[in-house]
Structure 1
């Protein structure tokens, strides 16, 4: 008899649903911030980055729900980290052609975004790391 504990499938399912929901909330916050799905922020590189993030968030959510956890959690890490880094850079030194947010650390939508991205990061990093571990193979009993 093995004393190894396994993660209950329900726990994995709950984590995948939570990760998917957090990814979709990140996408939604950025759609609101850019002014809608068809709007594009200026400068154009920033608008493109918003669209790439939103698409990546939806794809990550779909991958997690479909059970493609390794790729889903990896993409979820990127969905969390990308905007976190962008927030720090845009509020700190500023971004080329986008200096209006320098020092604007307490914008409500930005703070909501940080909270969701932080939660997604805390969820996705350990689950991605766990997905990278080799799975133990089932041992064949000799039937003594």
Structure 2
């Protein structure tokens, strides 16, 4: 009998796929925002942070699809939280040597980013907590 309950394997597989797709969406939004795969934003530390985020998002997606849920959900939560914090700081007080987005709370790509990262955070935190309660990875 297939397990298609909210806590069965089918639900877990669906959640992992959703998490992986949301991670890839976070990466895609940031690739677009930086101007492409090979571009790097200024200041340099911000450009490096974008690349690190994109790589982390890809790794999290792979971990989730491979069934390594504890490290996958942990990294996915970080992929969601990091840019959320960056959004607030870059639009609020600004970042060192970067004030271009101060006050720019309604930028369309930024709002898409917030929606994707928020959805990923809402998905990943309870599933990370659930994986921590279990003894297996």
Give the TM-score range, shorter chain. over 0.9
CA separation of 1:6 and 1:92: change in aligned 2, threshold 3 A: closer
Residue 141 of structure 1 is matched in structure 2 by: none
Please give the per-residue CA displacement for 1:68-122, whole angstroms capped at 9, x wherever unaligned.
0000000000000000000000000000111010000000000000000000000
Residue 109 of structure 1 is matched in structure 2 by: 109
Residue 14 of structure 2 is matched in structure 1 by: 14
CA separation of 1:6 and 1:105: change in aligned 2, threshold 3 A: closer
**Aligned counterparts of 1:42 and 1:105: Cα–Cα separation in 2:** 20
Q: Indicate the structure (1 or 2) with the bigger Cα radius of gyration.
A: 1
4+ runs of 1 displaced by more than 6 Å? none
Structure 1 unmatched ranges of 5 or more: 137-144
Residue 126 of structure 2 is matched in structure 1 by: 126
Residue 39 of structure 2 is matched in structure 1 by: 39
Residue 58 of structure 2 is matched in structure 1 by: 58
**Aligned counterparts of 1:121 and 1:15: Cα–Cα separation in 2:** 12
**Aligned counterparts of 2:57 and 2:110: Cα–Cα separation in 1:** 17
Alignment RMSD (CA, Å)? 1.4
User: What is the TM-score when the length of structure 1 is the normalising length?
Assistant: 0.89
**Aligned counterparts of 1:39 and 1:62: Cα–Cα separation in 2:** 24
TM-aligned CA deviation for residue 43 of structure 1: 0.2
Structure 2 unmatched ranges of 5 or more: none
**Aligned counterparts of 1:8 and 1:127: Cα–Cα separation in 2:** 13
Please give the per-residue CA displacement for 1:9-32, whole angstroms capped at 9, x wherever unaligned.
000000000000000000000000
Residue 76 of structure 1 is matched in structure 2 by: 76
Residue 48 of structure 1 is matched in structure 2 by: 48
State how many pairs are aligned.
Answer: 132
User: What is the TM-score when the length of structure 2 is the normalising length?
Assistant: 0.94
